[in-house]
Structure 1
Amino acid sequence: MTASDTPDISVVVPVHDEAGAAGPLAREIAAAFMGRSYEMIFVDDASRDTTLAELRALMAELPALRVLSHATNAGQSRAVRTGVLAARGAIVVTLDGDGQNPPAEAPKLADALMAAPPNVALVGGRRAKRQDTAAKRWASRWANGIRKRLLKDDADDTGCGLKAFRRDVFLRLPYFDHVHRYLPALTIREGYENRYLDVDHRHRETGRSKYTNWGRLRASLSDLMGVMWLKSRARRPGAVTEF
């Protein structure tokens, strides 16, 4: 694929201090999307290790690879948004940079979205056999249950990094830190529908998680209140007619 091509799919991967994981993940993505019209965009969120150098070294080997770098650490949601803004594909697929989302699952989410009617904006992954600690799984179930009850967003697992969504719809959504966890609720707010598919999940092989259960809890409380406010202030115009 050359730089002048317009791919059908843009795979966006936010990474921060993922030396040893980012390179193999990029090769897996290339294998998963071989023969398809795609690009992959790794957004390095000011890593302090060799993540950026490892990715840049792969660019000659993987023509579909684009590497963007933040000068300052800005968090996962901002890294995803940076990638989506740079994306050339109408369909964006996201994966976590730690390698726990199997890239082989990504094409089926993209295919499901491309086959769906225009009113479906997002196809989310749902980790069928989550490979995390018991404490993390329990905290996730608890948080997902509360969020789903309050926001009525129909998502069982918003923490799954594997998602496919329409780029134009994403860019209409309000941006805030941690917005990646609230995409289902916000797409519904805009009048769209979501669908979900079971996906595999793997153990982390390198590095360590950037999140703790208490850290997520502190952020989620304020985020939930904010998204509830956004939903309460939404007014949709129905069909829009141009004359």
Structure 2
Amino acid sequence: MCDTSIIIPCRNEAENIGALLEEITGACTDIGPFEIIVIDDASDDGMADILAARMREMPNLRVIRHDRSGGQSAGVHSGARAARGTVICTLDGDGQNPGTEIPNMIAPFKGPNAEKIGLVAGQRVARQDTFSKRYASKIANAVRAKILKDGTRDTGCGLKAFRRDDFLSLPYFDHMHRYLPALFARDGWEICHVDVSHRARGGGRSHYSNLQRAVVGVVDLLGVAWLLRRRKKAHPTEVTTDRAEG
């Protein structure tokens, strides 16, 4: 039994995953029962051996391995389907999202008006990335916000929290993790934004280039805009016997 599932989609993060797991374990002692699910996206750098050793020490650690690389959205989706917790918190496996932010991310689901919140979206402050990466992200966020009007300045932050069932009811597509604010708002949910810290990558290298993000981003953005325009507008309410007779 667990209240929270912490999902870490990652590929070839052997240099970072051990320290991140330790940080999460120390930071989440007061959040109630939780599990950690690492999605190994077909890594070939020895990360699988590290995770196998950690599983023997950490009974709340689960590992799901993809037979081929599917990307971050596929990892989050695989983790959500396997999750046992009601609330899910995601973060990147490269260590740039501090595990200490997890309690702050899930707190809104335990506070006032929690029933109206669909997504808690982390927004990086003092981002520790190269200038080119920060600049490209700034442009992409501006274009996305202009078209989707999702009210979020940083959808690329890996720190997000949501209820498992609400997430799985969203339409799935590759790269959907960058459009969660718009997709949750499409279903009538409120979006809660939380400023989170950010740090430089501890080891390894990024698996995406600015050009790759730009090319797929254009296609994805048009697709999400299409989904928003064709959202279901009617909200069903079951009629009970008393109500029907009244």
Secondary structure, in 3 states, of the residue corresponding to 2:104? helix
TM-score when normalising by structure 1 = 0.95
Matches of 2:233 and 2:6, distance apart in 1: 30
Matches of 2:193 and 2:162, distance apart in 1: 11
Shift of 1:239: 5.4
Q: Given the alignment, which residue of 167, 174, 178 partners 1:177?
A: 174
- Give the equivalent residue in structure 2 for 1:229: 226
For 1:1-243, what aligned pairs fall within 5 Å after superposition? Answer: 6-35=1-30, 36-115=32-111, 116-238=113-235, 240-243=237-240
Matches of 2:110 and 2:38, distance apart in 1: 23
Q: CA deviation digits over 1:153-195, x for unaligned, max 9?
A: 1111000000111111100111111000010000011111101
Shift of 1:242: 4.6
Structure 2 counterpart of 1:15, one-letter code: C
Structure 2 counterpart of 1:88, one-letter code: R
Secondary structure, in 3 states, of the residue corresponding to 2:56? coil
Secondary structure, in 3 states, of the residue corresponding to 1:175? coil
After TM superposition, the structure 1 stretch with the greater mean CA deviation from structure 2, 54-63 or 77-86, is 54-63
Q: Any conservation in 2 of the 1:191–1:236 contact (CA below 8 Å)?
A: no
Matches of 2:49 and 2:66, distance apart in 1: 14
Structure 2 counterpart of 1:85, one-letter code: R
Q: Any conservation in 1 of the 2:14–2:45 contact (CA below 8 Å)?
A: yes
Q: CA deviation digits over 1:52-109, x for unaligned, max 9?
A: 1101110122221111111111111101100000001110000001000000011111
Larger radius of gyration: 2
Secondary structure, in 3 states, of the residue corresponding to 1:59? helix
Percent of paired sites with the same residue = 47
Task: List alignment gaps of at least 5 residues for structure 2.
Answer: 241-246
Shift of 1:126: 0.6
Task: List alignment gaps of at least 5 residues for structure 1.
Answer: 1-5
Matches of 1:113 and 1:212, distance apart in 2: 34
Q: Any conservation in 2 of the 1:90–1:166 contact (CA below 8 Å)?
A: yes
Secondary structure, in 3 states, of the residue corresponding to 2:198? coil
Structure 1 counterpart of 2:107, one-letter code: D
User: What's the C-alpha RMSD, in Å, of the aligned pairs?
Assistant: 1.1
Structure 1 counterpart of 2:3, one-letter code: D
Secondary structure, in 3 states, of the residue corresponding to 2:129? coil
Structure 2 counterpart of 1:28, one-letter code: E
